[in-house]
Amino acid sequence: MIRKGMFLSNRYEILEKVGSGGMSDVYKAKCHKLNRFVAIKVLKSEFSEDKNFVTKFRAEAQNAAGLAHPNIVSVYDVGVDRGMYYIVMELIEGITLKQYIARKKRLSVKEAVSISIQVAQGIECAHNNNIIHRDIKPQNVIISRDGKVKVADFGIARATSVNTHTTNAMGSVHYISPEQASNGKVDEKSDIYSLGITMFEMLTGHVPFDGDSTVTIALQHIQKQVPRLSEELPNIPLSVEKIVLKCTQNVPERRYLKISSLIMDLKRALLNPDDDFVKLDEEQKNDTVIVSKEDQITIKNAAGKEEKLRASEDADSEKSPFDDEEPPSTLEKVLMVLGIGIVLLFLGVAIAMIPKIFLDGGENNRNLEIETTTLDPTLAIVPNLYELSEEDARTALHNNALGIKYQYDYDDNVEKGFVCAQSEEANAIIEKNSTITVTISNGAERILLPSDIDGKDVEAATLELNNVGFEVEVVYTYSSSNIGTVLSHDPDGKVELSKGTVITLTVSRGKEANTEGISLATVPSVAGKSRSNAESALKNAGFRIGEVKEVYSEVAQAGTVIRMTVKPGVRLPYGSKVGMVVSLGSENPETETFEEVTSAEEVTTVEETSAQATYSASYTFSLEDMLDANGEHLTSGAIAIYVDGKKVSVDPAYSRLETWPGDYTYTVIENYSGTANLQLYVNNAVIVDTQIELK
Domains defined for the chain, CATH in brackets: 1-91 (3.30.200.20), 446-508 (3.30.10.20), 514-591 (3.30.10.20), 605-695 (2.60.40)
Between CA 677 and CA 180 the distance in angstroms is 85
Using one digit for the tens of pLDDT, what is the confidence trace for 376-387? 678 888 899 988
The larger pLDDT score, comparing residue 153 to residue 273, is at 273
Q: Can you list the alpha helix ranges (DSSP code H) found in 348-404?
A: 390-399
Q: How high is the pLDDT of residue 303? A: 34
CA distance 620 to 551: 9
Cα 631 to its chain centre, rounded Å, is 33
Please check the confidence at residue 630 and state whether its pLDDT lies above 60.
yes
135 carries an active-site annotation: yes
Is the predicted pLDDT of residue 274 greater than 80, yes or no?
yes
The angle at the Cα of 57, spanning 54 to 62, to the nearest 5 degrees, equals 120
Query: What percent of the chain lies above the pLDDT cut of 90?
Result: 24
Nearest to 332 by CA among 307, 306, 354: 306
CA distance 646 to 513: 40
Residues 288-301 pLDDT 10s: 343 344 444 443 44
CA distance 473 to 147: 40
Q: Identify the pLDDT of residue 429.
A: 81
Q: Which residues, 6+ apart, have CB-to-CB distance to 365 below 8 Å?
A: 310, 311, 329
pLDDT of residue 317: 37
The whole-number pLDDT of residue 351 equals 42
Q: Which helix (H) or strand (E) holds 220?
A: helix 214-223
The helix (H) or strand (E) run that includes residue 686 is strand 685-694
pLDDT of residue 112: 95
Q: What is the pLDDT of residues 544-599, one digit of tens each?
A: 888 888 888 877 788 998 888 777 777 777 778 888 888 888 877 654 443 433 34
pLDDT bin (cut points 50, 70, 90) of residue 328 is: very low
Q: Mapping DSSP to helix (H, G, I), strand (E, B) and coil, where does residue 403 land?
A: strand
- Average predicted confidence (pLDDT) for the chain: 77
pLDDT at 636 over 90: no
| DSSP assignments along 562-630, one per residue | EEESS-TT-EEETT-EEEEEEE---S-TTPPPHHHH--TTT---HHHHHHH--EEEEEEEPGGG-B-TT
pTM, full prediction: 0.45
Beta bridge partners of 497: 447
At residue 435, the 3 state secondary structure works out as strand
* Alpha-carbon span 67 to 73, nearest angstrom: 9
In this prediction, residue 263 carries a pLDDT of 95
Which of 25, 77, 81, 135 is an active site residue?
135
The H-or-E segment that residue 544 falls in is strand 544-551
> How many residues in the chain?
695
**The predicted structure's pLDDT at residue 418:** 93
pLDDT digits (tens, 9 = 90+) for 458-473: 878 888 888 888 888 8
Residue 514 pLDDT class (50, 70, 90 cuts):
low
**In terms of pLDDT, which residue wins out, 592 or 21?**
21
Rounded to whole angstroms, the maximal C-alpha distance in the chain is 142
Q: How many CB atoms lie within 10 A of CB 405?
A: 10
